[in-house]
Structure 1
Amino acid sequence: MANSEGDARLQTTKDGPSLAVIGCGYWGSKHIRVSCDIRDARMSMAVDPRPDRLEYIRSQYPSVAVSRDIGAVLNNPSIDGVIVATPVETHFELARAVLQAGKHALVEKPLAMTSAQCRELNAIAEQSKRVLMVGHTFEYHPAVGVMRQMIQSGSLGELYYIDSRRLNLGLYRQDANVLWDLAPHDLSIIFCLLEEVPQTIGAWGCAHVLPNVEDVVYAKMGFKSGPTAHVHVSWLDPVKVRQITIVGSDAMLVFDDVQPSEKVRVYQKRFRPRIDGDSYADFQSAYHHGDVHIPAISSSEPLKLEVLDFVNAIMTGERPRADAMHGLRVVEALEEASVCLRLKQKHRSNGKEQRIFRRRNMPAGGPEIAVA
């Protein structure tokens, strides 16, 4: 039943799309804040079943109409784009309803709970010619752009490996484990940097507090181009860590997102062994310790850049950077890593040999998924 709050008069812009947000929690409120600051669009409505969240939005953003009824958004012809910032298990149903209502959709990460759901959403968006985008905020982070440029330019040399750590004390969830909660960030960054998906994925983890809900997970990925990538995510760590290390043959790079400034440091450090004779008996260490370079990084807010890309895609028809296919590749990796976690639990109990899994929809001889 429609809530009277949803009958509030909506103000729309003639020059750009009118936006709405479904879900006014942590991410939803941030989307409202940055959307209200975008000149070429207007944040028109916020929907949430919790009266206290709507009261907060009303007090902070008086121009934004609020409602407890999703129909107030879906049935409103003046609303062009909808940002879905709700619990992950609701993403598919809500995104599908938004697209079927003829509206463009930006869905917080992960795009859905299964790759099949991601494909269905993408098919609906393609058929209806609507924008479907996923909230991979770090793909818009200026630091990630600088890192990607350095990899592409070859300034790090041959890429050896990427190590990503996202650690914190909490926040525990019962609807998803730490892999699905935190790792989408790391996976989206790594896939963006390397411009490819992994051939192999291995994962293992532990549930220390809640039964069958892993709060510490390690994952390892192998890529066709040569490098490996390691992801460590945890809800059970005393120190907040948001760090990515990239090691190449010529230089090494560290991105520390916890730092307020100078988030990226490039170390001119490397190791190149010298063998002067015909055997390793003549092996000599050759460590190089050079300068530390701190590249200039734009201070633009990644979330605002993300919403700007959504607005631009609506207005121009251009494909957004973090499109539905980017959402699909992250969910596929999460699925395969989850299979490894489940099988690893069985291996502990029955001692069966390790099995190898080929990626879904891959032909024989294609990429495989290994239980590490």
Structure 2
Amino acid sequence: MANLRAGLIGIGSMGRHHARVLRALEGVDLVAIADATGDPHGVAGDLELAPDIDTLLKAGLDYVVVAVPTIYHEPVALAVAAAGVHALVEKPLGHDTASAERITAAFESRGLVGAVGHIERYNPAVQSLRVRLENGDLGDVFQIATRRQGPFPARIADVGVVRDLGPHDVDLAAWVAQSTYASISAQVTHRSGREHEDLVSITGRLANGTVANHLINWLSPMKERTTVVTGERGAFVADTLTADLTFYENGTIATTWDHIAGFRGVSEGNVTRFAIAKAEPLATEHAAFRDGILGTSSQYVTMREGLETVAVVDAVLESARTGTTINR
């Protein structure tokens, strides 16, 4: 069977990594690259640098990876769909809900495989966590809390922290809980002198009753990427920076020292950090999309799921603007 022919548009800070992974991906040949702004990281190699999506599509492609700035996702993705070519679009799928709806409809109506690059799903710690939850290791899930904070990234100019980082945690929590958001309440602040928000605190309730909390900012001198899932048997802590997964088990041994028992609340049990295989998330994401095109797997993030995430992000911004809880 011939290898799939892949094209890549956008070779900036994220696109350069897509190029590297595509070149190493079994069963795929990276045959065309496009970027109207040039090749700042020198990733094109021996491939001619196309100026736009129309030129790229002339290479006879099976699929395209779209890694251009979010504001250009819609025109590029619609051109790919019109050409009858599958696409993996970087997150977020569109710059707002209406844009994401148009992109999703374009691919679904043509029976094309459309995916969104929500890379955190493919972090080894999160993948292992999802399997353990499916196995019932935690019992009922009560709360999913994420913290995503660090210094301001100079690469960001057109959006705030909600649209840039928010989709990661919104999608992660919904996927881990296997549920959609029923309500959203959010607060933002502006501390860095930019027009866009640089901190957001989100509280949500999922349709299955799980409470979700997300603290996201560009104001912290420390970099943190932590997901805590609390349930009836304890708590899982996934560190997606190190891809470590730790389980804090509720204790079964009674504490006879009354002062300590009252202070600690739920009794402490064993703490286990799991030894897990740590494949690169981007490589796992690409392999899942390749297999989706081949019809051998459905482990990619669909555009329909990506659309739902954009809608939740829009609700976060609406809640912050109006000071109200948004029920969905």
Q: TM-score, normalised by structure 2?
A: 0.91
Q: Greater shift after overlay, 37-46 or 156-165?
A: 156-165
Q: CA 1:334–1:244 in structure 2 vs 1: closer, same or farther (change >3 Å)?
A: same
> Are 1:84 and 1:95, in contact at CA under 8 Å, matched by a contact in 2?
yes
> Are 2:291 and 2:297, in contact at CA under 8 Å, matched by a contact in 1?
yes
Amino acid at match of 1:310: F
Kindly state the Cα deviation for residue 208 of structure 1 after the two structures are TM-superposed. Answer: 1.0
Distance in 1, matches of 2:160 and 2:36, equals 24
Distance in 2, matches of 1:212 and 1:300, equals 38
* % identical equivalent positions: 27
Q: CA 1:224–1:71 in structure 2 vs 1: closer, same or farther (change >3 Å)?
A: closer
Which residue of the partner structure matches residue 7 of structure 2? Answer: 20
Distance in 2, matches of 1:100 and 1:317, equals 25
Distance in 1, matches of 2:43 and 2:22, equals 13
Which residue of the partner structure matches residue 258 of structure 2? Answer: none
Which residue of the partner structure matches residue 186 of structure 1? Answer: 169
Distance in 2, matches of 1:257 and 1:357, equals 29
Distance in 2, matches of 1:135 and 1:219, equals 22
Instruction: List alignment gaps of at least 5 residues for structure 1.
Output: 1-13, 275-282, 345-354, 360-372
Q: State the superposition RMSD in angstroms.
A: 2.3
Which residue of the partner structure matches residue 278 of structure 1? Answer: none
> Are 1:75 and 1:101, in contact at CA under 8 Å, matched by a contact in 2?
no
Aligned residue runs from structure 1 range 233-248, under 5 A = 233-248=216-231
> Are 1:133 and 1:320, in contact at CA under 8 Å, matched by a contact in 2?
no
Amino acid at match of 1:305: T
Amino acid at match of 2:95: M
1:110 aligns with 2:92: yes
Which residue of the partner structure matches residue 265 of structure 1? Answer: 246
Structure with higher Rg: it is 1
The superposition leaves residues 163-204 of structure 1 with CA deviations (integer Å, 9 ceiling, x where unpaired) of 101111011533111011111111111111011111110110
Amino acid at match of 1:242: R
Q: CA 1:286–1:309 in structure 2 vs 1: closer, same or farther (change >3 Å)?
A: closer
Which residue of the partner structure matches residue 259 of structure 2? Answer: none
Which residue of the partner structure matches residue 202 of structure 1? Answer: 185
The superposition leaves residues 80-136 of structure 1 with CA deviations (integer Å, 9 ceiling, x where unpaired) of 111010111111111111111111111000000122222222221122221111001
Task: Decide which of 51, 58, 78 is 1:96's aligned counterpart.
Answer: 78
Which residue of the partner structure matches residue 152 of structure 2? Answer: 170
What SS does structure 1 have at the residue aligned with 2:131? helix
What SS does structure 1 have at the residue aligned with 2:2? coil
Task: Decide which of 338, 341, 356 is 2:320's aligned counterpart.
Answer: 341
Aligned residue runs from structure 1 range 48-67, under 5 A = 48-53=35-40, 56-58=42-44, 61-62=45-46, 64-67=47-50
Q: TM-score, normalised by structure 1?
A: 0.80
Kindly state the Cα deviation for residue 241 of structure 1 after the two structures are TM-superposed. Answer: 0.4
Amino acid at match of 2:43: I
> Are 1:273 and 1:285, in contact at CA under 8 Å, matched by a contact in 2?
no
The runs of at least 4 consecutive aligned structure 1 residues that moved more than 6 Å come to: 271-274
Instruction: Count how many residue pairs are aligned between Structure 1 and Structure 2.
Output: 321
Q: CA 1:152–1:85 in structure 2 vs 1: closer, same or farther (change >3 Å)?
A: same
Kindly state the Cα deviation for residue 308 of structure 1 after the two structures are TM-superposed. Answer: 1.3
Distance in 1, matches of 2:319 and 2:265, equals 39
Distance in 1, matches of 2:143 and 2:252, equals 14
1:32 aligns with 2:32: no
Aligned residue runs from structure 1 range 41-80, under 5 A = 41-53=28-40, 56-58=42-44, 61-62=45-46, 64-76=47-59, 78-80=60-62
The superposition leaves residues 224-246 of structure 1 with CA deviations (integer Å, 9 ceiling, x where unpaired) of 32221111111111100011111
Distance in 1, matches of 2:50 and 2:162, equals 33
Distance in 2, matches of 1:180 and 1:70, equals 24
Q: CA 1:358–1:244 in structure 2 vs 1: closer, same or farther (change >3 Å)?
A: closer
Distance in 1, matches of 2:113 and 2:207, equals 31
